Amino acid sequence: MKRDKFLQVYILATLTVIFWGASFAGAKVALEQADPLLVMFLRFVLSLALLLPVAWYCGELRLPTLMQKLVKDFMGFIRYFFHIGIQTVAMRSSGSATANWQMAAAPAMTALFASFFLKERLSRGGVFGIILAFLGVAVVLGLGTKGARGISSYNFGDFLISLSVLNWAAFMVLTRWLFKENRYPPVFTIFWEIFFAVLMCLPALALTGTDVSVLTGFSWRTWEALAILGFLCSGLAYVFWYYAAANIPVARLMVFQFLQPLVGIVVAYFVIGERFTLWLLLGGAMIVSGVWTVNRPHR
C-alpha cells in the first residue's frame, strides 16, 4: 500500500471510532424522549438521507441483483437491525462507559475469528500491542472514571452489549471477505443494507405499537443526538470503515476500536456528566501506544 493511501485509511479508521465512541452517549440522550425502536428507525432514515446523494456521487446508486439483495438483507439484519437494535435497547440500563469497555474486547474476538476463518496472522509485536492496548482500556475504564460500576452491577443491558461484541466480530470477518476482492462497492452496500434495515423496522414499529407521534415533541437536544447517530455514527462512519476494511487486515483494523472507550468517556463527560481521573491520561497513552505497535510494519 502506498504511503498516501496508508495514511488515508488510518485517518478514516480513526474518524470512525471517534464517531462510534460518541454513539452510546448520543443514544442515551435520544432515549430520554423516545422508544429504542423509534430511535433506531429515525437513525436509519437520517442515514439514508445522507447516503443517497453520496451513492449517486460515487456512481454506486443502482438496484441490487437478486443475489446481492439476499446478501444485503442478511447483512442489514445482523449489522443494523439486530446489532444497533440490541445496543439501543441496552442503553436503557447499561452505562456508556460499560458499553465502550465491552466493545473494546471486539478486536480480540475478531482476531480469533479472522485467524480461524481468514487465516490471518499476527506478529509477536502485534500480539503485544493488542495486550498493551487492552490493558490501557482497562486502566481508562477501571481507574479513569469516578463512580464507574463494577462487575456486580452487570445487568441485562450489559448482557446485550456482550452479545453485540460477538455479533460485531462475526460481521467484521464477513465484511473483510466480501470486500477483499471488491465484490460489493462500499457505499452501494451500506445504502442497501440500511434501506432493508428500515424496511425491517416498519413492521416492528407496527407490531410493538410504538407511538411515533412523540417525535413532534422532541427537543433540539434529541434531534441533535439523532443527527449525530444518523449522519455520523451510521452514515459516514460505515463508509469510512468499509473502505478501511477493504485495505487492511481485520485484526489490525479492529485495534482502532481501542480508541473508542477513550472517546466515549470524553463525550460522556460533557454530555452525560461522567467524571474521570488522571488515570485516564495513562490509560489513553497505553491505548495509543498499543495501536501504534500493532500497526507499525514488522519484519
**Where would I find the H helices in the chain?**
3-30, 36-57, 66-75, 83-90, 96-103, 106-117, 124-142, 156-180, 186-208, 220-227, 237-245, 250-254, 260-271, 279-295
For the chain, 299 residues long, the average pLDDT of each consecutive 10-residue run is: 75 91 93 95 96 93 89 88 94 80 73 72 76 77 55 66 85 71 76 95 95 94 96 91 79 74 84 74 79 65
pLDDT at 296: 65
Would you give the end-to-end CA distance of the chain in angstroms? 16
> Residue 34 gets which letter from DSSP?
S
pLDDT at 246: 77
Query: Of all residues in the chain, what percent are helix, strand and coil, respectively (each to 5)?
Result: 80, 0, 20
CB count within 10 Å of CB 73 equals: 17
pLDDT at 114: 75
Q: Which run of H or of E encompasses 283?
A: helix 279-295
pLDDT at 2: 64
Three-state DSSP class for residue 286: helix
Three-state DSSP class for residue 118: coil
Q: Considering the entire predicted model, what is its pTM?
A: 0.81
CB of 243 within 8 A of CB of 114? no
Strand partners, 276: 145
Strands (E), the chain: 145-146, 275-276
CA distance 36 to 39: 5
Residue type, 47: S
Q: Which three cell numbers stand for residue 192?
A: 442497501
Q: Which three cell numbers stand for residue 254?
A: 479492529
Q: Which three cell numbers stand for residue 231?
A: 449522519
pLDDT at 148: 45
CA distance 222 to 56: 29
| 200, HSE (Cβ side, Cα atoms, 13 Å) | 22
pLDDT at 207: 95
pLDDT at 180: 60
